[in-house]
Amino acid sequence: MKLNIAVLSGDGIGPEVTAQAVKVLKAIAVEFDHRFVFKNAAVGATAIDQFNDPLPEKTLDLCKSTDAILFGAIGHPKYDYDPTAKVRPEQGLLKLRKELGLYANVRPVKAYEALLEKSPLKRDIIAGTDISIYRELTGGIYFGEKHLSEDGNHASDLCAYSREEIERIAHQAFKAAQSRRNKVTLVDKANVLETSRLWRRVVTELATQYPDVQLDFLFVDNAAMQMILNPSQFDVILTENLFGDVISDEASVIGGSIGLLASASVGDKYAMFEPIHGSYPEGAGKNIANPIASILSAAMLLEHFDLHNEAELIKMAVDRSLELGITTPDLNDNYNNITTSKVGDFIADFIAHPYDTNAN
């Protein structure tokens, strides 16, 4: 298969981890006789520095002309603490999601057997956890009208949803549940928010089309608690934009590091694959960031094109690296000099020699 892939590695550790995902995709191309063509473009703080625009037109055009996008990370501390900043790196990512209509953000969360002791949560609580979070990505409070009064003392962000925005992601969540454990949990705040009541109504109606799927409801505050009390109760979690953002960072604690969590952001026309973590500026340039989230995002990219054997091989290589303790410092109490690029090398080598268990 030939795939043109836009690589938007972005800020902080973005370039380092994305380079490992590209390395792994190249190894897959060799093994399975595919042709992957990579084209780089600027986004985020890096793009502001160069073009004074977090999402230059050229980058957006490239994304629209390729088959898929591999995204790194976005954000720089110099914008975080500046309330007056008019241009922010995050706007690049949000505009990309909106312009490309990437409304469904899928975030798999699982407890790896080899890492059960790495999580601050108890082994018995997290063992067996396997969740797929369906986060709505182009609506809600992220994209509603924003307002700041002239005197700077009043601000508002509007949270709005339409039936159509809810239906399209809900269909995807129900379909995903049908190929998993047949359960969808809608996370909302329907005791307070009108938008949440709309979500409940629409999702309940739609559930009648999926009689084999059990639909449950949880208020987001309770869901946050359940996520660390009893995470294995969840199969598919369906939720709106902001709740999904918060719940997924919380869920990353189960795996032992946020550096493991990949995601796919999919719309009707385009698809982007990105780690859920941020740009980790303190770690940038040190070759210490965990590249697994980016590598697993590449696996999700392959799955999107029905390259299941290829994706499976990546996941197998990742499992092996975790079993052997070939992991970056976020997962190693004793810093053992395993760098970002060493993890990428191990996984790429494993792909080249999958049956040689000594590959490293």
Q: Give binding residues as ranges.
A: 97, 107, 135, 221, 245, 249
Decide if residue 31 touches ligand IPM (CB under 6 A). no
Q: Which amino acid is at 322?
A: L
Decide if residue 276 touches ligand IPM (CB under 6 A). yes
**Cα–Cα distance, 348 to 338 (Å, whole number):** 15
Burial class of residue 301 (count of CB atoms within 10 Å of its CB; 0-12, 13-18, 19+): buried
Which listed option, ligand IPM, Mn ion, none, makes contact with residue 31 (CB within 5 to 8 Å by class)?
Answer: none
Which listed option, Mn ion, ligand IPM, none, makes contact with residue 93 (CB within 5 to 8 Å by class)?
Answer: ligand IPM
Burial class of residue 84 (count of CB atoms within 10 Å of its CB; 0-12, 13-18, 19+): exposed
Among candidate residues 79, 112, 142, 280, the one labeled active-site is: 142
Q: How far is CA 87 from CA 72, 92, 109, 281, in A?
A: 19, 9, 32, 19
Residue from the set 4, 31, 40, 90 that interacts with ligand IPM by CB under 6 A: 90
Counting runs of H as helices and runs of E as strands, what totals does the chain give?
13, 12
Q: Which stretch binds ligand IPM (CB under 6 A): 61-69, 89-97, 305-313, 347-355?
A: 89-97
C-beta separation of 217 from 186 below 8 A:
yes
Residue from the set 63, 93, 218, 299 that interacts with ligand IPM by CB under 6 A: 93
Decide if residue 245 touches Mn ion (CB under 5 A). yes
Which listed option, Mn ion, ligand IPM, none, makes contact with residue 74 (CB within 5 to 8 Å by class)?
Answer: ligand IPM
Which listed option, Mn ion, ligand IPM, none, makes contact with residue 319 (CB within 5 to 8 Å by class)?
Answer: none
Asked about 216 being catalytic, the answer comes back as no
| Cα-only R_g, the chain | 20
Structure tokens at 107: 């975030």
Decide if residue 245 touches ligand IPM (CB under 6 A). yes
The backbone torsions φ and ψ at residue 43, rounded to the nearest 5 degrees and listed phi first, read -155, 155
Q: Which stretch binds ligand IPM (CB under 6 A): 88-96, 250-258, 283-291, 303-311?
A: 88-96
Which listed option, ligand IPM, Mn ion, none, makes contact with residue 90 (CB within 5 to 8 Å by class)?
Answer: ligand IPM
Asked about 249 being catalytic, the answer comes back as yes
Residues contacting ligand IPM: total by CB under 6 A:
8
Asked about 221 being catalytic, the answer comes back as yes
Residues contacting Mn ion: total by CB under 5 A:
1
Residues making up the binding site for substrate: 97, 107, 135, 221
Residues of the chain by 3-state class (helix, strand, coil), percent to 5: 45, 20, 35
**Cα–Cα distance, 43 to 90 (Å, whole number):** 9
Q: Between 165 and 245, name the residue whose CB sits nearer to Mn ion.
A: 245
DSSP 294-359: HHHHHHHHHHHTT-HHHHHHHHHHHHHHHHTT---GGG-SS-----HHHHHHHHHHHHHSTT-TT-
Please give the positions annotated as active site.
Answer: 142, 189, 221, 245, 249
Binding footprint of Mn ion on the chain (CB under 5 A)? 245
